Chain A
Amino acid sequence: MGSKRSTDFFCLASAFNVVLMLSVALVVSVLVLRSLPIIHRDGVYPLVTSVWNPTREEYGFLFALGGTLVTASLALLISLALSVGSAVAYAEFIPQKLRPAVKNFMDLAASIPSVVYGLWGLRVLSPFLRSYLMEPLSALGLSGVLGVPSPAGTSFLSASVLLAIMVTPFASSIIRERLLAVPMHVREALYSLGLTKPEVILLELRYIRRSVLTAMAIAFSRAVGETAAVAMVVGNTINPNFFRVFSPGYTISSLIADQYPNAEAYYYMVPALFYAALAMFAVGFAVNVLLLRYGERR
């Protein structure tokens, strides 16, 4: 289609494609190159130990890796219930007239800066969860298993709940659209068999389960990478017992965010933080690859 004359100018635009491609390559290669010193020195040791002692140049960040996986998984579970539930509510119970308002509100929720969620999580959500969830459960004797809440309520659990609140609008919107897109003839077939509404809804969810899975996988990888909000509510304490979700701890992203001001004061801390970022990146990347293989095609 393009005439010969014009091609020369048009092709200049490819330079900008190269800029974009190079920046992706740059991000990945910097991550790898800058973590090489500590990989060379310690191998996988930082991934499997929890000793973080910069003055002795020891950087085991298993506590943060575990914290990331625990908070993201817990957030995923909460968000699964919330997003499926609210998507069903939207498709089945919200009157047509109210839908645009609800939809706009959910989309708006997804566009609020995460650091604002973080401030609210720190000042409102964490104390609330401490008084109404963690303290009562601790009083019942669960603190031996789930850990002792901190005075401010900052904890793995607070981070998980906050993450769930943050990713739900997005996850719910995917499920909602797919639920509304279930073909009418499928719904008619189900209702014509005398199925009741709950039964039809469960079957519809089964019908779109790949989309639900996809939404949840994206939500998980976002929860893994989310930084500002998590760093504000997770407590930023070295805590190898990351299954004690009432207690404060670190995730990888919050470790990086919290340590950056003094990283350059040590020899290996900057490489260690890059290594941690690489590990987190690998987790998110693995989820995305699985998604490409098993998720629905977008």
Chain B
Amino acid sequence: MRLVDARALKSLALTAAVVLAFALSVLPVAHLMATVVYRGAAAIARNFPSILFDIPAAPGSRELGGIGPHILGTALLTSIAFAVGVPISLLAAVFTAEAIRSWERIVGRWTRLLVHMMVEFPTIVIGIAVYGAMSSVAPLVRALVPGFRPFSLLSGVVALVLVSAPYMYLQVEDGLKSVPQHVREAIYSLGASRLLTSLVLLRYLKSTVYAALSVGLARMVSETAALFFTAFGSDVYPPLDANLLFRPIGSLTLAVYTLGLSGYENWIELSWAASLVLLLLCLTLFGFSRLLLRGERLGYRSPR
């Protein structure tokens, strides 16, 4: 009977250890979310709604100011990067998935391999590589745009595209590959061209595609490291003129970073506010992609 007792003890110890590990992996994140909501909401409530439009107040002052330039920066960076990145990733994915001839297949295979590698690149590496490239071409660009510096909205957009397009590409390509061959054949049998077929397939995979795009967008919104050397960050509104693309610009993530590390209480408060805005954006995009994928799974099941 002693054997059984030892076993029961072991079982109890394992259960305890496992439950502890579970708690330790869930509770910190829960605490984080609660803190961000609590501190962020407090900051936003203190100076609502001008916190959404003002620039940060002087460091250490009693005023709070706002994160207006950073919200604008994130909006500009992500919307332009999204507009550039989506066509690239969608069309590259279509080409890879629908490649037939041998040269097409080779191109597809290499794209896939390289993009697979790129997804695991640290984003800081992508950031400084874009900076490196931009600063190399800066003398040439200055001939056209005298004020050009590598630290600019343009660099930030390029960096975000490189961070996010690989994700969208892989997701969409996986989706296209999972389309049953008979569906594809059915569309071809109607006499559709390859391009048209691809577009029909993308529509067939609508929710997968939208989910991939929303994950890609979330990555752009939440990216920090790739922007240090590119968008650079700024706490003031850029002049809205023809050179907008060539000037440094702020973002919510850069605001969380620099204001949070500043050591001034009013800036740290702003940092929490920016965190809450980021968290809400990510939550929304996350929920959106979940909703879409749930619909997708049901959609697949229903014909049977």
Contacts and interface: CB of A to CB of B under 8 A. Distances in A.
A117 to B, nearest CB: 7
B88 A20 contact: yes
A23 B118 contact: yes
Interface string A98-133: 000010111111011111111110111100000000
B193 A169 contact: no
A256 B128 contact: yes
B100 A2 contact: yes
A6 B25 contact: no
B257 A225 contact: no
B45 interface: no
Contact of B169 (A20, A27, A109): A20
A89 B253 contact: no
A253 B18 contact: no
A196 B11 contact: yes
Interface stretch (B59-67, B276-284, B296-304): B276-284
A30 B132 contact: yes
B32 A112 contact: yes
Interface in A120-160: 120, 122-125
Interface residues of B, number: 90
A17 B133 contact: no
Contacts of B30: 105
Given A17-B96, A277-B124, A120 B118 contact: no
Contacts of A115: 222, 224, 253, 256-257, 260, 275, 278
Contacts of A107: 286
Given A93-B15, A111-B286, A277-B124, A9 B193 contact: yes
Interface string A186-207: 0000000000111001000000
Interface stretch (A44-52, A239-247, A280-288): A280-288
Most chain B CB neighbours (cut-off 10 Å) among A10, A83, A94, A288: A10
The binding surface of chain A is classed by DSSP as helix
B54 to A, nearest CB: 20
Given A26-B129, A86-B25, A196-B11, A284 B120 contact: yes
Contact of B229 (A86, A260, A284, A285): A260
25 contacts: A13-B195, A17-B108, A20-B166, A25-B114, A27-B162, A30-B136, A85-B20, A85-B21, A86-B25, A94-B22, A105-B29, A111-B282, A113-B222, A113-B282, A115-B260, A115-B275, A116-B278, A118-B257, A165-B28, A197-B11, A226-B122, A227-B124, A232-B257, A277-B128, A284-B121
Interface of B: 7, 10-11, 13-15, 17-22, 24-26, 28-33, 35-36, 87-89, 91-92, 94-96, 98, 100, 104, 107-108, 110-111, 114-115, 117-118, 120-126, 128-129, 132-133, 135-136, 162, 165-166, 169, 188, 193-196, 198, 215, 218, 221-225, 228-229, 253, 256-257, 260-261, 268, 271-272, 275, 278-279, 282-283, 285-286, 290
